[in-house]
Structure 1
Amino acid sequence: MEGSEAIQENLRNIYGLEKGELAFDRICPILESFPAKEKEKREYFSEKDIVLITYGDSLQDSDTAPLDTLIGFACKKLKNIFSTIHILPFYPYSSDDGFSVIDFFAVNPELGTWDDIKKLGNHFDLMFDFVLNHISSKSEWFIQYLAGEKGFEDLAIEVNPSTDLSRVTRPRSLPLLTEYQKKSGESVWVWTTFSADQIDLNFKSIHVLEKMVKVLLHYVENGVRIIRMDAIAYLWKEAGTSCIHLKQAHEMVKLFRSIFNLLAPDVMNLTETNVPHDENIRYFGNGKDEAQMVYNFTLPPLLLYTFVKETTSILSRWAKSLVLESLDNTFFNFTASHDGIGVRPLEGILPAGEIDDLIDIVKKNGGQTSYKQNTDGSESPYELNITYVDAMWRNLGKTDEYHAKRFLASQSIMLSLPGVPAIYIHSLLGSRNWLAGVKQTRRARSINREKLNIQDVFKALEDNNSFRSQVFFPYMTLIAIRKDQPAFHPNASFEVLDIHEKVFALKRSAKEQTLISLTNVSGASQTITLMEKDTPEKRDLVSGRMIFTQEILLAPYQYLWIQV
């Protein structure tokens, strides 16, 4: 197949020479049958790229299917502001709010249809989850595996329960192996990294690889622009190792990148690896061969720490490290998602005692902490379960307006950093902790997964005094301003300015424009001095006001984007 040399090399690196050639022979017909997209790819990303993260049913209406409700809201409120919508797993599922997939090829009928997905794609770029590490125990694939049907015999990873797996990195405090009975009556123990219902797929099997390549290309055929590679770090298993970040996992990312380069060069890989920063950025590879984007997992907890402690010193030091060598790479910047605020990415950045302080704040603000099991049997904090809005609450007898201002200040920093911003729908709408949901599901992560009635949302947005309104409209204004600034292009240069301990300052520069972003992370007014003496007249893009002095007074939690 013309242009497939990189794919062949990837497969040899994963499976060895002989098995790699066999794997290529098996997937080649799949690739050849795919209707290749235009070879001329567009720019991967620009300052105009803003992603909304949402479940297909985060917004609900009694009269319409959830996806149709989402389309209506997005077209009415978000069009020409947001460029991309990430619909969290919209496939039939059995648990984990969509991440235990029953059928990779189908849309959950409770949400809508593929036609709805395509309709949304007529107005926005689309981002899908490629849940490639595991599949539901209720899936037809796993049922066929248990029945011993041809092509499914090696779907799961069977392990002798006496095998020493003590070195395996555990993201959860749940058993690593789960016992199932085959149709033949044989009992087997299979690898289940995340839960007993989520069966890890055996990528050592070429049958599995074939199936998942078909899934990937099915998503491309249905209009995906960004592929989120869920839990990719855990993909490859070898007893006696940590089973995280193994060479084959990286090679698998390279394989999918090579397939996109050949068949859909405008589609991007985004790796989801909630791990310490240095491990996370390795998924950029050499800058050209792995992911175009990685989640900036350190940002959410470190930003929270910055506002809790009212000091920018650690954030500023870390932000200076965000330099990337390749213009094909950037960070996927976010503060909230459907999951909690991961704390593992703070390892090596904050001492354990400081992380404990965050845990205390989250508890005071109505949240919880989830723990993972370590190789020595102990447990350590894994994520903080709270809406980011309520994580930014400060009980000083202040008003909702003050709370909204503090939250929006945190978002101004996220929006100014180099990368593509991604905003969770509950952050955009100013959602508070869904404590009733936690009680109802008995799952801590439900706290920021509330299903909202769209009519209630519209009503709240029409009320200028509502908290949702106080968050949504200033946030949308900020995003609208950002997307028109060349200096916020992901590849625009940046410089962290150490001008005040309580003010995060960032200089962004493109050929056409230079901006300085200033954010007061404290509850007190701060005075700073800008040394941009060559430009006596400066304009704050947020307020539209001119600034004629070098000395600037920032109110509590005020943020400015100054064009110089």
Structure 2
Amino acid sequence: MLQILQENSDIRDVESASSPELWDSSSVVLITYPDTVFRKGEDSLKTLSDFIDKKLGNIAKIIHVLPFLPSTSDGGFAVSNHDQIAPSFGNWSDLKKLSKDHNIMADLVLNHVSSSHKWVQQFIQSINPGTSYILSPRDLNGWDKVIRPRNTSLFIKLATKEGLKNTWTTFGPDQIDLDWQNPDILIEFLKLIVLYLKNGVSWIRLDAIAFIWKEKNTSCLHRDQVHQIVKLLRFYLENLVNKGVIITETNVPEAENLSYLKSGDEAHMAYNFPLPPLLLEALVSNKADLLNKWLCSWPSLPFKTTFLNFTASHDGIGLRPLEGLMTQNRLHELLVNCEKRGGLISHRKMENGEDSPYELNISWWSAMSDSGIDPSYLQVQRFLLSQLFTIALQGVPAFYLPAVLASENDIKSFGRSGERRDLNRERFDVEKLYLKLKDIQSFPNQIIRELNSAMEKRTKEISFHPDSPMHCLTKDRSDVVIITRGENKDKIWAIHNMTNSRLTISLLDSIFSYSEDSSSKWSDLLKDKLIINNILEVPPYNVMWLKRIN
């Protein structure tokens, strides 16, 4: 590792050293596939770059370009080649150009490779290094405690030159697990990180990191060695670039997710996995009691660590993070409400052999629809509330491009592939999209305008810095969520009406107490509107950002 660091000491950006902050009030992540928007005959990274520059200026400071390496399945997460970008997306220079005006976040798929990867083919031919890179336990006893994210077989047999061999397949038969007890695997990925950094990537997402280390008679999840590897990767990244960020992706119960932040020397950032299902449940049930209770126990994190707050992503809406936060009855109601809106439910295999709900497969836009006669009733209001909610929280907000474009459940793609997650991975012909966006009444136009405006306002407020203090003021309420960000004269009150009814709120309530000049007036930052009296009438699913002004 030291040799790689010495050989690549020229990567470090000297200019960025003068600004040590990893994030600020303007920080926001746009999550997108390289070809979410496409133009026939053009490399999709070029199309994406052009679309973002024209339409998404304020909501794409950081771009999470989902897997761009060649892949055979699972939406890019079955990597078949680590050396090049998939030809239909473009090449390394396209990615580097995109990084000139944006921070680029990329996936490090550590747990497995495609069954077509050269390492697997070497394993089949019984030649190195593949023979020692692929996880192939001889004894299948002692693995009954393994915690799975899927309900497929844990092992598949591959016909090699030396006969049939069992290979570990955590996520499915096309994704063959690597043997991380071989230190050469680490070196391979350290070299890949260098390739990423040389081509404009500075934020590294550790995909499914919790699963990489296997030991008999354990859950094979979050092993001590995993945490040591995350620490090492952070040390490595920080010694190569000044503003590198490690993000862990662990769709697990909250305490387990937090384990990658609590020490302060592992991940810089972790996906805030309880947020999407709790927020969804609150909006479809008109009951925010669980969401308020969770917000009021928001954890204190070490310096230079924070959450990535998101609602939609390329995956489903994880249900394991709800463990300990939601009763089975409420969870059942959530599943039913998802199915009413055209969603599906994916399962994982439990230790006792039974299947258990693992994630909801539904587009976030469809999830925001009404279950009554008119699905579009208050749909855009619910959707915008959900996105403004993430902007107001402590941490860095993230938006998923298909959701921003009001993508409904993509039945056609799901029908072609049979992959449930494809319900939420729609691709858009960019020329048709530009035409649609010319209509100021179209849902994508409304969403983009509102989010660009909200992020512009957020950027100006020090109270919305990801590290700024946050407090929830509505622990015992189910109709409204009110949080404060910042302190003293900069404090902001973010008010969210979580119901389909108008809500009356008095500014004379003690939660709006203010220690500074009591003669100062209130302003709604979102609407650039001065508050005239002390009674607020908040429309259904409406959001206000209140601040005292002189």
| TM-score normalised per structure 1 | 0.92
Which residue does 1:83 correspond to in 2? Answer: 61
Q: Percent identity?
A: 35
Q: 2:530 aligns with which of 546, 551, 554?
A: 546
Letter of the 1:207 partner, please give it: D
Distance 1:347 1:500, change over 3 A: closer
Is 2:259 the counterpart of 1:254? no
Which among 271, 274, 290 is matched to residue 251 of structure 2? Answer: 274
Is 1:172 matched up with 2:150?
yes
Partners of 1:267 and 1:472 in 2: CA distance: 28
1:266-314 CA-to-partner distances (Å, cap 9, x unmatched) read: 1111000000111101101412x10010000000000011112222221
Q: In the alignment, which residue of structure 2 is the partner of 1:29?
A: 3
Distance 1:431 1:30 in 2: 43
Q: Which residue of 2 aligns with 1:426?
A: 402
Give 1:355's aligned residue.
331
SS of equivalent residue, structure 2 residue 473: strand
Shift of 1:397: 4.3
Q: What does 1:207-286 align with in structure 2 at a 5 Å threshold?
A: 207-286=184-263
Tell me the residue number matched to 1:16: none
What does the per-residue CA deviation read over 1:204-254, in whole Å, with 9 as the maximum and x for residues that have no partner? 102212111111222122221210000000010001100001100111100
For 1:394, the equivalent position in structure 2 comes to 370
Instruction: Call closer, same or farther: CA 1:406–1:157 in 2, change over 3 Å.
Output: same
Amino acid at match of 2:8: F
Kindly indicate whether residue 484 of structure 2 is the aligned counterpart of residue 503 of structure 1: no
Unaligned runs of 5+ in 1: 1-26
Q: CA deviation at 1:29?
A: 2.1
The residue number in structure 2 matching 1:7 is none
2-structure distance, mates of 1:263, 1:335: 32
Whether the aligned pair in 2 keeps the contact of 1:180 and 1:190 (CA below 8 Å) is yes
**Which position in structure 1 is the counterpart of 2:293?**
317
Contact 1:168 1:243 in 2 (8 A): yes
What SS does structure 2 have at the residue aligned with 1:483? helix
Answer whether contact 1:127 1:227 (CA < 8 A) is retained: yes
* Conserved? CA contact 1:260–1:267, under 8 Å: yes
In the alignment, is the contact (CA less than 8 A) between 2:280 and 2:367 conserved in 1? yes
Q: How many residues align?
A: 536
What is the deviation of 1:162? Answer: 3.5
SS in 1 for 2:173: coil
Q: Distance in 2 between matches of 1:550 and 1:245?
A: 51
Whole-Å Cα distance in 1 between the matches of residues 248 and 177 of structure 2? 18
Match in the other structure for 2:173: 196
Structure 1 pair 450–535 and aligned structure 2 pair: CA distance change class (3 A): farther
CA distance in 2, matches of 1:313, 1:319: 10
> In the alignment, what sits opposite 1:23?
none
**Corresponding position: 1:372 with 2:348:** yes
Map of 1:532 onto structure 2: 513
Pairwise mapping of residues 98-117 of structure 1 onto structure 2 (< 5 A)? 98-117=76-95
Cα distance, 1:399 vs structure 2: 7.5
**Paired position in structure 1 for 2:305:** 329
Instruction: Quote the offset at 1:400 in angstroms.
Output: 3.9
- AA matched with 2:504: T
CA distance in 2 between partners of 1:216 and 1:118 (Å): 14
In 2: Cα distance, 1:401 partner to 1:513 partner: 36
CA deviations on 1:348-373 (whole Å, 9 max, x unpaired) are 00011111111111111011110111
Letter in 1 for 2:65: I
Judged with a 3 Å threshold, the aligned counterparts in structure 2 of structure 1 residues 161 and 128 are, in CA distance, closer, same or farther, namely: same
Residue segments in structure 2 that go unaligned for 5+ positions in a row: none
CA distance in 2, matches of 1:480, 1:141: 47
Find out whether 1:153 has 2:126 as its counterpart: no
Q: Using the alignment, how far apart are the partners of 1:395 and 1:473 within structure 2?
A: 26
Determine the C-alpha separation between the residues in 1 that align with 2:452 and 2:285. 27
Could you tell me how far apart the structure 2 residues matched to 1:134 and 1:341 are?
A: 22
Say yes or no: does 1:408 pair with 2:388.
no
CA distance in 2, matches of 1:144, 1:28: 28
Amino acid at match of 1:35: S
Question: Retained in 2: the 8 A contact 1:400–1:467?
Answer: no
Cα offset for 1:176?
Answer: 0.6
More off after superposition, 468-477 vs 421-430: 468-477
Deviation at 1:550, TM superposition (A): 2.9
Deviations 1:166-205 (A, max 9, x none): 10001000111111122x2422101110011111111110
RMSD of aligned Cα (Å): 1.7
Q: Is the 8 A contact 1:536 1:548 kept in 2?
A: no
Q: Secondary structure at the match of 1:179?
A: strand
CA distance in 1, matches of 2:491, 2:426: 40
Q: Distance in 1 between matches of 2:291 and 2:303?
A: 24
- Matched residues in 2 for 1:104 and 1:438: separation? 27
Paired amino acid for 2:252: V
Q: 1:307 aligns with which of 283, 292, 298?
A: 283
CA-CA distance at 1:123 after TM superposition: 1.5
Residue type of the alignment partner of 1:59: V
Aligned to 2:108: 130
After TM superposition, give the deviation of residue 464 of structure 1 in Å. 2.2
Aligned mates of 2:95, 2:156 — CA distance in 1 = 35
Residue 71 of structure 1 pairs with residue 49 of structure 2: yes
Post-superposition shift, 1:401?
Answer: 6.9
TM-score (norm 2): 0.94
| Letter paired with 1:144 | Q
Range with bigger deviation, 308-317 or 170-179: 308-317
Q: Which residue of 2 aligns with 1:22?
A: none
